[in-house]
Chains A and B, each alone.
Chain A
Amino acid sequence: MRRTVAAACALLALTLTGCGVVDRPDPAGWDQQAGTALEDAASQVATARLALRSAARERTWSTYTTVLVAEAEEAAASTEEDLSRVQVPRPRRSAAARVQELLSRAVDAVAQAREHAVDGVYDDAALLDELDRVDAALEHEHDRVAP
């Protein structure tokens, strides 16, 4: 009986440890969260790029493109914000700075894509190149952080 109570208490304590106000993962846990965030951001960047390219080829109408890119922007910003609230383990400080900078760049690129979508400008080569570069950089960083 005592053992059962002790086990239940230990389980409860373990569960509550994971329910803190601040998420404090160990280095491996942080790597996983950062990897997921980079993957999500890459997905949003690729969505914005595909939406603009489809619109440039007149395969979607303006409101559809705007909604798609605006939702990608919102999701990318949410990904960046979520990771920024995670307590970075000391050994991952420099990696975290790199990842946050890259996520911020992704959010900026998708925000620019949204501005272009609202203005009806779908074929800005400089923006499309930037989306390509950000996507590639996100994938590269993902391979470094969570191979």
Chain B
Amino acid sequence: MKRYFAVLLGVLTAIGGFVDIGDLVTNAQVGARFGTSLVWVVVFGVVGICVFAEMSGRIAAVSRRATFDLVRERLGPRIGFLNLVGSMLVTLLTFIAEIGGVALALQLVSSVHHVLLVPFVAAAVWIVLWRARFSSIENVLGLMGLTLIGFAVALWQLGPDWSELAAGLAPAEKPAAESWATYAFFGVALFGAAMTPYEVFFFSSGGVEEHWSDKDIGVMRANVLIGFPLGGILSVAIAACAATVYLPEGIAVETLGQVGLPVAVGLGKIGLAVVVLGFFAATFGAACETGLSTGYSLAQYFGFQWGKFVRPKEAAGFHIILLLATVLAAGVLLTGVDPIMVTEISVVFSAVALPLTYFPILVVANDPDYLGEHVNGPVANALGVFYLVVITIAALAAIPLMVATSMGQG
């Protein structure tokens, strides 16, 4: 019974924790401009994140060490450093975007300017990172994030022409006014948002925090293979709501308030309140995850004690990194930079950094010294190599597409 409960809780928190500020903004933007013609990228990205999250979870469960703890040891300090710099900078950028996202969510209920809220949000995030237990952060915020199901309910209430939505799924159905370069740019951004590197940092390090062993592989797989795809459905619902309400009106999504408005149209105040609570939970949860991931990656690379499974005094370096990252994030946001712009940049650079994150996972997951009988099988390897090729193409295309389309402007 306890095991079933663990699976259920894990799946529910995986669903609720799947969506972050990058998914919220990018899916709404894409839905408003391209209808459902880019939904296939979300599906493709969700399969990709499942493939690599399963590998990194398996590594954590069998070796009892986080993936990036092993990267430096397995691939040497140079590759390890490249991996650290690329992945950590993107995670830090995402951390800034998430803290900004929490401030934007609170702005929607208080009408206090988000810049004024940033110091309080940053302080709250740091206190949670310092004091709260790992399982509390994961479970409470993950379960609260489930309120984003409001988007799926709102879509049903909006009563779109389902056959039209389904017909729009084909890439050829993109609006004629949009160029293929813009379509490709947003495709890469969506892919980056779905496969954002911190998710595997957090997932594998979380496995060590929760003392997974090889007996937990089944539960871990259920979390990944059920929870992540159901979380992906929330992403699709966000895009479909935007497509239903905004595409016919010619409205482009540029703010978090616009992301939630279709829910208000469909469900009214209560639905909107539920979804705004989801915005808060999703961004606050992801702020904690990205903050922790920054600390995990640095501490694991330099080899000092990390994690919330030890007392803060025993992992002083790790907690100092968390504090400095939070101060840095607040400092950047206090310059008045638009958190939505930071989000847009972070999802593009996520795509750029993807090979640096996922290549080492594939290498370590094939090493019998670490995984013994649990090394990748032929299916995991075939999928891993296939995705690595796609990830590399997306990474190479991201910057040229960003320049050529002026960040998707045209």
Q: Is B109 an interface residue (CB 8 A)?
A: yes
> Which of B83-91, B117-125, B262-270, B366-374 contacts its partner?
B262-270
Chain B interface residues toward A at CB < 8 A: 107-111, 245, 249-252, 254-255, 257-258, 260-261, 264-265, 267-269, 272-273, 276, 409-410
Q: Is the CB of B410 within 8 A of A36?
A: yes
Q: A68-99, CB under 8 A of B: which get 1 and which 0?
A: 10010001000000000000000000000000
A60 CA to B37 CA, complexed, in Å:
29
Chain B residues in 8 Å Cβ range of A51: 261
Q: Is the CB of A54 within 8 A of B251?
A: no
Nearest CB on B from A56, distance (A)? 12
Chain A residues in 8 Å Cβ range of B276: 64
Nearest CB on B from A137, distance (A)? 14
Q: Whose C-beta in chain A lies nearest to the C-beta of B177? A: A39
Q: Whose C-beta in chain B lies nearest to the C-beta of A75? A: B254
Q: Is the CB of A58 within 8 A of B269?
A: yes
A42 CA to B261 CA, complexed, in Å:
17
Q: Is A128 an interface residue (CB 8 A)?
A: no
Q: Whose C-beta in chain B lies nearest to the C-beta of A138? A: B250
Within 8 A of B (CB), among A8-52: 32, 36, 39-40, 42-43, 46-47, 50-51
8 tightest Cβ-Cβ pairs between the two chains A and B = A63-B111, A68-B257, A43-B252, A59-B268, A59-B264, A60-B264, A71-B255, A46-B249
Q: Is the CB of A67 within 8 A of B249?
A: no
A21 CA to B251 CA, complexed, in Å:
31
Q: Is the CB of A54 within 8 A of B111?
A: no
A67 CA to B257 CA, complexed, in Å:
7
Contact check: which of A46, A61, A67 meets B269 at CB < 8 Å?
A: A61
Instruction: Count CB-based A-B contacts (< 8 Å).
Output: 68
Chain A residues in 8 Å Cβ range of B260: 64
Contact check: which of A32, A54, A63, A75 meets B410 at CB < 8 Å?
A: A32
Q: Is the CB of B108 within 8 A of A63?
A: yes
Q: Is the CB of A54 within 8 A of B254?
A: no
Contacts A54-B265, A59-B265, A59-B268; is A64 near B251 (CB within 8 Å)? Answer: no
Q: Is the CB of B249 within 8 A of A64?
A: no
A: number of interface residues (CB 8 Å) = 23
A7 CA to B261 CA, complexed, in Å:
51
Additional A-B contact list (14), CB under 8 Å, known A36-B409, A75-B254: A43-B250, A50-B261, A54-B261, A58-B269, A60-B269, A60-B272, A61-B272, A63-B110, A64-B108, A64-B260, A64-B276, A66-B111, A67-B111, A68-B257
A66 CA to B109 CA, complexed, in Å:
10
Nearest CB on B from A43, distance (A)? 4
Q: Is the CB of B252 within 8 A of A40?
A: yes
Q: Whose C-beta in chain A lies nearest to the C-beta of B406? A: A36
A39 CA to B177 CA, complexed, in Å:
12
Chain B residues in 8 Å Cβ range of A59: 264-265, 267-269, 272
Chain B residues in 8 Å Cβ range of A46: 249-251
Contact check: which of B107, B111, B255, B261 meets A60 at CB < 8 Å?
A: B261
Chain B residues in 8 Å Cβ range of A58: 268-269
A41 CA to B273 CA, complexed, in Å:
28
Between-chain CB contacts (< 8 Å), 25 pairs: A32-B410, A43-B252, A47-B258, A47-B261, A50-B261, A54-B265, A58-B269, A59-B269, A60-B264, A60-B272, A61-B109, A61-B269, A63-B109, A64-B109, A64-B257, A64-B272, A64-B276, A67-B108, A68-B255, A68-B258, A68-B261, A71-B255, A71-B257, A75-B255, A139-B250
Nearest CB on B from A30, distance (A)? 14
- Most interface-central of B250, B260, B276 (chain A CB within 10 A): B250
Q: Whose C-beta in chain B lies nearest to the C-beta of A42? A: B250
Q: Is the CB of B107 within 8 A of A67?
A: yes
